[in-house]
Amino acid sequence: MRGLFPPSFSSFSSFSSSASFSSFGAPLIAAALALSPLSLPATAVTAAPVTGIPGSTRSLPLAPLTRARVLGAAPEQGLYRAGGEHFSLLGVVWDDPGAELRGRVQVRTRAAGTGAWTDWRDVETHNGGHGPDPGTAEAASRRVRGATAPLWVGASEGVDVRVRAASVPLPDGTGSTGARTSVPLPSGLRLELVDPGDDGTPPGTPADTPLTVPETAAARAASAANTDVAGFGALEIPELDKAATERELTRLKGPARTASYIGARPRIVTRLAWGADESLREPGFGYTKTVKAAFVHHTGSGNQYSCSQAPSVIRSIYRYHVKSMGWRDIGYNFLVDKCGTVYEGRAGGVAKAVLGAHTLGFNSDSMGIAVIGTYTGTEPSDAVVTALARLTAWKLGLNGADPQGRTYLTSAGGNLYRKGKNVQLNVISGHRDGFATDCPGTALYARLGAARSAASDYQGR
């Protein structure tokens, strides 16, 4: 069985309303449970509302700052809230997704509980290059906005933000030697304050604990999309050894005509386990034909989180991508925390070719993996590199791709390659290989060679 929503679907699934799901969903779910891999017992499921606390997003317009708070001559907008807020992640958005914020965004936050203000921190403004491909329905949505990278700040109750435009020299011939002028800031600047909420799962809950799944089409569909590799309602896609992974490859793809190379499947924490609110995303799933390449990213959200907080960080990024930036779901197909735990990203099934919104121009026939954190100067842990290697060895192996090889992808348009250009890329590439950006950070990018080599070894090449 290849799951309820096979990867051959070129459009979004028709299960887009409660009515259609109630008519057809129950028999299909029953079939999925009956045909789940026998070696993977289904997690017990009860049909009752999840008891977690839902998250929230506050969107606040920025305003010109008073003269007393302006630093230098450049135009500056900002916002000050001493208290009364409840958030753990923030970012700045603007109206035009194609506009670039040329300048500097700085924030300081007031910690919940202690009331202490942090020092000023920079927010990464170069978030371009993430997003749905031009010409897709997702990109055409009027909800899509430009945005900075999200910044994880931990539980906070107050915020102070300033956005300062860059200044550039006046063109020659103005008669003002050495004079400078400010670059206009994008219109519609807003501060987004994201509260990840509580997923309702006590810390340390074992993966085989009976789980509560909401009686909604979206939540059930997200779990059902993984029934080709795990039981319905599973908290994790369990790790398999290499022999079991090779048997699974035969079951999913059929007998191989030539030698197959695939790495053992790593453990993957599902959306249900990290507490995804499936009502946020658009219904149904989008698929591409295959997975020929993997693009590695960093989230740019900072490294000041504990690994036990990673699910909260992911819920926040998910909410930021959907509610603040206007995407249909979280952009990445997978996420990896700094301890090396792998998480399911965009819904649709971890073993399927789910269409993401991770590398502008190259989302088709690829997958995006984001390491949670900022790796411009911070070295990723060995656990991160190992997780990248194991995940790519498995997922690329499902699609017959060599981690140390090169492949061709057709550009949908971006700032490096024109639309329609056939581009040769490493099978495991960094985001910057497909779009002019700092992502995935210089330190992480430097470790991709090691990830490629290890992934090839895991595949048995």
Segment 169-213, tens digit of pLDDT: 877 655 566 677 778 999 999 999 999 998 766 555 655 554 555
Q: Kind and range of the H or E element at 347? A: none
Contact 456, 403 (CB under 8 A): yes
Three-class SS of 349-397: CCCCCECCCCCCCCCCCEEEEEECCCCCCCCCCHHHHHHHHHHHHHHHH
Q: Kind and range of the H or E element at 22? A: helix 18-35
- Secondary structure of the chain: what % helix, strand, coil (to 5)? 20, 25, 55
pTM score of the predicted model: 0.87
Contact 297, 370 (CB under 8 A): yes
Residue among 147, 200, 96, 84 nearest 323 (CA):
147
> Which residues sit opposite 293 in a β-bridge?
366
Dump the DSSP string for 164-188. EE-EEEPPTTSS-TT-EEEPPPPSS
The pLDDT averaged over each successive group of 10 residues in the chain (461 residues) is 32 33 35 37 40 85 74 77 96 94 96 96 88 92 94 98 88 63 90 90 56 74 96 95 96 88 97 94 96 98 96 98 97 98 98 97 97 97 98 97 98 89 97 94 98 98 95
CA 65 to CA 79: how far, in whole Å? 8
Record the tokens describing residue 50, joined without a space. 């999840």
> Angle at which helices 18-35 and 217-224 pack, to 10 degrees?
30
CA 215 to CA 177: how far, in whole Å? 68
- pLDDT given for residue 7 in this prediction: 34
- pLDDT given for residue 30 in this prediction: 38
**Phi–psi pair at 336, nearest 5 degrees:** -130, 130
Q: Supply the DSSP symbol for 324.
A: I
Contact 29, 224 (CB under 8 A): yes
